[in-house]
Chains A and B, each alone.
Chain A
């Protein structure tokens, strides 16, 4: 698992993501608080999920200046400084996060705000795209919308110069959470 994490960390960082590994929920809360303070985030939009429940995001928000809203995406996600959501898998080889994003909220919080904080459990790291596609193939029905996210939104359309943050987030911060609390 540690080898997989190391590779994921290397590749995701290489793709421009900021990756933190945290041992358990308490450390995750502390890291999240520090990030929100550093971002000076006021409006946070998030999607409820098992990991977010365990972390108690509202409690985290009380330690920073952020106000968290869940829902009414079309307004909140457009105006938010930060979007927070849990992703289902990580792929080591390409530093990718994967999510069943059929839920529109999951999509909008990771698309519209300038910063996306992605929470993912360390135990969900798979070696590569092949294993991931193998997983979806085994499922009885393919989810309506599967999202693969690797680093922030980028373009090189002007003079082939890499520039971050076009239509999607300019910053992707990944919190890779170890530990068994709140397991699904």
Chain B
């Protein structure tokens, strides 16, 4: 899904009150519930334990498959290795036909969703019954799951009552306990009648041939016990070497998925077990295990994406994703949903199915903090974009903008100046743009955008300064927003730094950090811009390169060394530059003098920018700085939740960006603080536009601005 269809789906998801209420409530309460259930545990250690198990499993995959097949075959099971979805489906259909099966009960399984098993078997005349309550509701309503763990999270009890009433021909009231009883009664009949049970697996143990399945409802136990034939569809990535490896995964899976210490049932099946047929005769069950590849080997063989092999399918990356909270899995996903879903989709369903929705990741990095398998999901999404661009090329407008304009610094800066002139008719007296014509109108809906400044920082004398009693020298890397939209932030920083005895120089050859290009997948062009900036910045004799924008800092510090790693002429130079890069608050805290203390310190609230907090690990420093400067910091509800800016993201997905902004403004306003402070011009653009759009009189300032005001007072 991409383009207009995607925008349409986003719009309808945002306008769906049920979806918004359900996801909002769940996603807002999940982090605390999860924290409680992990209390007293060493999460980083558990994460590393799981990552190591899964890395080893990927490494030794062929051996694991061989061991698993040998062990489980020795116990009497039959194993079928399915290279493709079609192979898996055909095997199961043939088996059902050979045994004369009519009714099949199914436990919830993403692997069977992945291969569209139900539709296939139904098309061949079989009655396939989903027995997980959520899945059954969806099956009866003809919809797809919207979440890997909570498939029907988007449906109301009223809707479920309608579906069940139609199914039973009775009037079923919209009361949840009654609905659950009806489901129990209807499905019990199916369990007793079914000739075959199909399940997935959460873990498969190579050394013993054991299949581990978790469930809360008990349908897995019935599916694997009552019918005389049990078919397990297992993705190859579920294999772990030893039985000991089960415990760490089981410790993390339910805690990270639904904030439960353990699911109601955990079932460990090793080979066929006794079953009783409808006539009451006891005999050994037939156990068939379908080992599913369907693109997994390609994932495993990819040096970069192999990291995704570590995934244990807990879906906590969905639960904490601000974008998922807004649009849900029907928009943000293709069978597999959310951040990790993008990577799985690309390999299991083809890159084309990830195209478009891959843009939905805003790159806030929150999922990375929560992932119990230690997967850097946002990084993998960036790599996915890079591959898409390499394979398909950029859209024409971005191609011209990135390659023809942004690579040419003087042309880029001339065009920005031209835009400053062109915007004049739309600029209000407060310097904000509230309405734009035609297709840009969406950008100003419910918010006000800042105008491009008449005199950029690079042309202002206040950009540089040499104080008496010199301690050290920093080169200011302004970034586009500070240079062309908020030059006053640069001047404020210069004042504060000078007051600390720090000289500020401004290398004029600096250009855009290139992060927006990297974000869009144009890694090659971003690398060209990286080389320009490395050359310009290393030519200064400043001890530090200081930024007011954490995204620029991430570009200079993390992205440049990675982008230029393969270039012998630049690799070492990029690393040397990276070591000199520092963000404003960390630097000022280190060089603090009491001259910065303000007497009129009011209550402020601090917004954590995603790149500052999660990529640079800086969140204590600005708070400490504000406290030292005499301000009281009042924390907002979720200070580290993305404000929805994300650079090009706000332009690409304005409705999502706006919705995230509304939440942020509500959190900010809820503190009762006099002002919101952030260390990022991008976040400040977003926050100011939201405050102005809602006519709130609260100020939003960069820490540099606040400290500079203290100086002059």
Contacts and interface: CB of A to CB of B under 8 A. Distances in A.
Interface of A: 11, 15, 72-75, 78, 93-96, 102-104, 107-108, 111-112, 129-130, 133-134, 136-137, 142-161, 163, 165-169
A155 B216 contact: yes
Contact of A158 (B179, B269, B278): B179
Contacts of A168: 217-218, 221-222, 264-265
Contacts, number: 167
A158 B180 contact: yes
The 9 closest A-B CB pairs, nearest first, are A168-B218, A157-B134, A148-B266, A167-B218, A153-B218, A166-B217, A146-B268, A144-B273, A157-B133
Given A133-B243, A153-B264, A74 B278 contact: yes
Contacts of A93: 261
B381 to A, nearest CB: 27
Contact of B272 (A133, A137, A144): A144
A133 B219 contact: no
Q: Which of B160, B262, B270, B274 has the most CB of A within 10 A?
A: B262
Given A156-B150, A166-B184, A167-B222, A133 B247 contact: yes
Interface string B201-245: 000000010100000111101100100000000000000001110
B271 interface: yes
Interface in B260-294: 261-278, 280, 282
B561 interface: no
A152 B176 CA distance: 17
A163 B258 CA distance: 15
B265 A148 contact: yes
Nearest to B181: A165
Interface stretch (B151-159, B420-428, B529-537, B626-634): B151-159
B244 A143 contact: no
Given A153-B217, A160-B22, A94 B157 contact: no
Interface in B119-162: 131-134, 137, 150-153, 155-157, 160
B152 A157 contact: yes
Contacts of B187: 167
B22 A159 contact: yes
B280 A75 contact: yes
Interface centre among A95, A142, A158 (most CB of B within 10 A): A158
A10 B208 CA distance: 33
Contacts of A102: 273-274
14 contacts: A112-B222, A142-B243, A144-B271, A147-B266, A150-B265, A155-B216, A157-B133, A157-B137, A158-B157, A159-B156, A159-B157, A166-B184, A167-B191, A169-B218
Given A133-B244, A160-B22, 14 more contacts: A129-B250, A145-B267, A145-B273, A148-B266, A155-B134, A157-B134, A157-B137, A160-B26, A163-B180, A166-B216, A167-B184, A167-B187, A167-B188, A168-B218
A8 B157 CA distance: 35
A149 B180 contact: no
B176 A161 contact: yes
Contacts of A169: 218
B500 to A, nearest CB: 52
Contacts of A129: 247, 250-251, 262
A113 to B, nearest CB: 12
Nearest to A108: B225
B221 A107 contact: yes
A53 B251 CA distance: 35
Contacts of B156: 159
A155 B276 contact: no
The winner among A93, A95, A153, A169 for most chain B CB atoms within 10 A is: A153
A111 B264 CA distance: 12
Interface of B: 22, 25-26, 75, 131-134, 137, 150-153, 155-157, 160, 176-177, 179-181, 183-184, 187-188, 191-192, 208, 210, 216-219, 221-222, 225, 242-244, 246-247, 250-251, 258, 261-278, 280, 282
B159 to A, nearest CB: 9
A149 B265 CA distance: 5
A8 B133 CA distance: 29
B554 to A, nearest CB: 36
A166 B219 contact: yes
Contacts of A161: 176
A164 to B, nearest CB: 8
A109 B258 CA distance: 28
Nearest to B248: A130
A21 B270 CA distance: 33
A161 B150 CA distance: 12
Contacts of A136: 243, 268
A110 to B, nearest CB: 8
B251 A153 contact: no
A161 B451 CA distance: 48
Contacts of A134: 244
A155 B220 CA distance: 13
A167 B274 contact: no
Contacts of A96: 262
A160 B22 CA distance: 8
B501 to A, nearest CB: 56
B461 to A, nearest CB: 59
Contacts of B250: 129
Contacts of B262: 15, 94, 96, 129, 148, 150
Contact of B25 (A133, A145, A149, A160): A160
A169 B221 CA distance: 12
A163 B244 contact: no
B265 A145 contact: no
Nearest to B133: A157
Q: Which of B244, B272, B273 has the most CB of A within 10 A?
A: B273
B152 to A, nearest CB: 6
A103 B160 CA distance: 37
Nearest to B23: A160
A152 B264 contact: yes
A156 B263 CA distance: 12
B152 A158 contact: yes
B284 to A, nearest CB: 9
B243 A159 contact: no
A120 B176 CA distance: 33
Nearest to B180: A163
Given A152-B264, A157-B152, A159-B176, A130 B274 contact: no
A142 B211 CA distance: 11
Contact of B264 (A15, A142, A145, A163): A15
A153 B581 CA distance: 55
Nearest to B161: A158
Contacts of B75: 144
Nearest to B280: A74
Contact of A166 (B150, B160, B180, B242): B180
B269 to A, nearest CB: 6
A155 B270 contact: no
A143 B222 CA distance: 18
